[in-house]
Structure 1
Amino acid sequence: MNKKLFLPLIIFLGLVIAFVVQLQRNAQGDDPKALESALVGKPMPHRHMTDLFENKPLGSEIFQQGKPILVNVWATWCPTCYAEHQYLNELAKQNVTIIGINYKDQSDKAIKWLKDLNNPYQIVINDEKGALGLDLGVYGAPETFVLDGNGVIHYRYAGDVNEKVWTQTLKPLYDKLAGEN
């Protein structure tokens, strides 16, 4: 009889210990949003690219503008994307170059979204089937990549870009890359 009571207690204590250990790791800076990307240091993937508005093919030259670029993966079905959209509009007003990838979404909904909420993107790539997202290793929207002027990926951020993320994480790298071009 004691063994039947003892086993659930051990399992429960094991789960509690695992939970506490993960909380400690997060508190020490093991940020689950800081996803490493195998593509850091490599050119931005560019197959399966079409323009959202004109449905025409796009080439890799859109990522090679001689200045840094933010590539933002977003969707209309993503509530976090809605939350970050206003801040992306602010960045666009500050002449930050942003290319959008509309991820696993319906084109008509995406176009309406951008007309209603303003379009912070210089170019919007239609990734309705998620092929480009798959090439990028996207876990979900939103995700943002920082590219140099030659289209090489330097950083990947999973989550919404807000003022804190921009000023503390993305802007220093963006400014550094701008100084190198």
Structure 2
Amino acid sequence: MKRYPYLLPLALFAALAIALLVQLERNAQGDDPTQLESALVGKPIPTLRLSVLDDASIGFTAQLAGPALVNVWATWCPTCRAEHRFLNQLAGEGVRIYGLNYKDDRQKARAWLNALGNPYALSLFDGDGMAGMELGVYGAPETFLIDAKGIVRYRYAGALTPDVWEQKLKPLWLQAVGEAR
């Protein structure tokens, strides 16, 4: 090794380059980073034991029913702010959305909804992030689509935009609404 001190850094560089190329190839083959694995898809959404965002004294222990979206959001999340106007639009079109305020400050969250509008049929407060952990949340925003039986049909990580809605969630939403009838 003393004769070729440059070989170790060269070998490390080559290994790193190969690892990056493998990841790039994987992404080129259609892996979508917003398609996070979810153990919940195809299973009932867990029963959430939380307080209602507007009033800490009102507890909520029930299974959420759909068809509905469950949107995980926070005031500290700039992407959540970016998607909020579209969530208000969806709610105005009759899409039921439950909000899960994640690892946030209750007062800031209430002020946010007062200022930007409240698209949520029910807003729950998950200050310590434990409910998010039960859902397998990586961060905010994340949106789950649940059917009329409370079964998780889809999970989307990232901002819910008109394109994402039209291409990924709306077909599943319409299917869930059809099945509920």
> So what's the TM-score if we normalise by structure 2?
0.93
Q: Percent identity?
A: 52
**How far apart in 1 are the matches of 2:168 and 2:151?**
18
- What is the Cα deviation at residue 2 of structure 1? 5.0
- Render the CA deviation track for 1:121-169: whole Å, top value 9, x for unaligned: 1110011111110110111111110000121111111111111111100
- Residue 174 of structure 1: aligned partner: 173
- What is the Cα deviation at residue 43 of structure 1? 1.5
> Which structure's residues are more often strand, by fraction?
2
- CA RMSD, aligned part only? 1.3
- Residue 50 of structure 1: aligned partner: 51
Query: SS in structure 2 opposite 1:154?
Result: strand
Query: SS in structure 1 opposite 2:143?
Result: strand
- What is the Cα deviation at residue 59 of structure 1? 3.0
- What is the Cα deviation at residue 50 of structure 1? 1.3
- Residue 23 of structure 2: aligned partner: 22
Matches within 5 A, 1:92-111: 92-111=91-110
- Render the CA deviation track for 1:31-75: whole Å, top value 9, x for unaligned: 1220121112222112322110123112325x22xx410000000
User: Gaps spanning 5+ residues in structure 1: where?
Assistant: none
Query: SS in structure 1 opposite 2:123?
Result: strand
Amino acid corresponding to residue 13 of structure 1 in structure 2: A
**Residue 40 (structure 1) aligned with residue 45 (structure 2):** no
Amino acid corresponding to residue 149 of structure 1 in structure 2: A
- Given that 2:75 and 2:104 are in contact with CA atoms closer than 8 Å, whether structure 1 keeps it comes out as yes
- What is the Cα deviation at residue 24 of structure 1? 1.6
Amino acid corresponding to residue 171 of structure 1 in structure 2: K
Query: SS in structure 2 opposite 1:50?
Result: strand
User: Gaps spanning 5+ residues in structure 2: where?
Assistant: none
- Residue 120 of structure 1: aligned partner: 119
- Given that 2:49 and 2:61 are in contact with CA atoms closer than 8 Å, whether structure 1 keeps it comes out as no
**How far apart in 1 are the matches of 2:162 and 2:55?**
32
